[in-house]
Every structure is written in structure tokens, then in C-alpha cells.
Amino acid sequence: MIKNNEIIFAHSPDADDAFMFYGLAKEVVKIDNFKIGHLLDDIQTLNEKALKGELQVTAISAANYPNIVNNYRIMSCGASIGRNYGPIVVSKKPLKMNDLDGTKIAVPGIYTTSWMLFQIFCSNNVTPLFVDFDEVENLVQSGEVDAGILLHEGQVLYKDWGLKKIIDLGEKWFNHTGLPIPLGLDVINRKFDDDLSSSIAKALKESIEYAHANEDKALEYALSYGRGISKENGRKFVRMYVNADTVNMGKEGEAALKRLFSLAFDKGIIDSIPELDFIRV
């Protein structure tokens, strides 16, 4: 599992993920006796690699955890959690939820939490088109699909793109449960022992805290991956998803995750409710 004494952190180049890993990327935060490497990929690719147990430490969609529970444990830090906001369903022209029956909708990955939330709360008979998250905007604008689910920076920029919000799935979740919504998690392969797993989780927590303490520099680093978002919009987005919950999801975050999987099970979206195994730091 460990080659050349190197622990590789896999995460997406999205602004919130890159921001979290700033301290590790700049080698300010270290793990004794180990080198630290980074693997950057889009979240759908990371979800798929996690299914095979290939990754040591990785970001995943929270909705994917039931599929990988046998290979990974959840870190109490590193979660992307929304409080009364989350992925947004958008269209080119004003629509309501009941207008979506019989339509085609662009979905940014079959394993994403956004798709799980849509299935929990939106009983519409839709045809999903699973695409890369950065294709959703253009597909909606071109009329190739009737609606799409926006992740990441799209939640901040959709109005600039001339798109109309149908529903905020995070807001719908909050109104239904009163809980925050865990959208993304960071997980550690079960092949690591408890001591090393704790050291890895502590390093990520320190990296997040370092990024918060050096926000401007961390933000500049996070936005260097060229997603075409302004610094202020980037700051807004990062503050939405890299917050106190990211440092420690706490009992409320853990309860929200359990509720998510319970509702998904009740809807027949997942076959069983996974036992949640946390590395708490």
C-alpha cells in the first residue's frame, strides 16, 4: 500500500478541496517518517478509484461511502458540509419541480451526493444523463437537457451563467431534517493501522487550520487550478464548504451522515445502511 515511504493524498482540484490541502501541499504540515504526495482528479474519478480500493487517502462523495465501507474509514476532518445550502438544480427557463416529469437532467456523476439527494427528495420521472460536473452548465444552456445539478463553483456562479434555480437540494435537506448536509468526505484505507491513520487525519486537520490562518495565500493557491472563478467568488465558495464543520464534523455531522443513508435506504437507493467507522481527531 505504501511505496517509497510516501503517503498520497488524493483530492479534486476544486477550490474547497485544494484550499484544505494547502498546508500539506506547501510542506508546512508533515507526517513523521513519511513523504507526502498528491493525486489530483475529478471527484467522479476518485469515487471510481475508491470503489477498487486503489487509493490510500482520498476525497469521495459522501453518497459513495456505502459502496466502499469495507475498504475505507471516515476522517472526522475534511468533510464538505453545507448548512441550509448545497447542490442546485437549474434550468435555462424558469421551472418548478413538478415541471421536471419526463425530462432529461444532467447529473455530475452517479456516485455524487447531489444525485442521492435528488432521488430522495424529487420523485419526478426523469432521465439522468451522467456527465462530468463541468459539462452540466453547457448542456443546460444548449438545451440538450432540460435541467442540471450544479456542484462546486456553479452554486455561486449559476446566475452569472443566466440559469434559473429550481431547487437548492441542501436547503431542501435542511428543511426536512434540521441537519447540515455532508456532501464530501475524506477517507483512509483500512490497510493503514490505527496509529498511522490517526497521524494522517491529524495532518489533514492541521492543513485545514493552516489554510484558515493564511486564507489569502491558501485561496490564491486553490484558485491557481484555473476554474475561471474570481477571487471573491472563490472566497465565498471556499467559506461555504471549508468551515468549522470541516475541521471537525462533530456529532451533528455524524448524525447527518447516518440520516442521509437511512433516507437513501428507505427510498431503495442503497441496499443497506453502512456502519460508520470514524477516525476522530
Catalytic residues: 152
Q: How far is CA 161 from CA 133, 137, 150, 156, 179, in A?
A: 15, 8, 12, 10, 30
Question: What is d(CA 55, CA 73) in angstroms, rounded to the nearest whole number?
Answer: 12
Integer Cα distance of 223 and 12 in angstroms: 12
CA atoms within 13 A on the CB side of 111: 21
3-state SS assignment for residue 167 = strand
Helical H segments across 21-168, by residue range: 22-25, 43-51, 65-68, 113-121, 136-142, 154-157
φ/ψ of residue 278, rounded to 5: -105, 140
- Contact criterion met (CB below 8 Å) for 186 and 204: yes
Closest CA to 116 of 46, 182, 50: 182
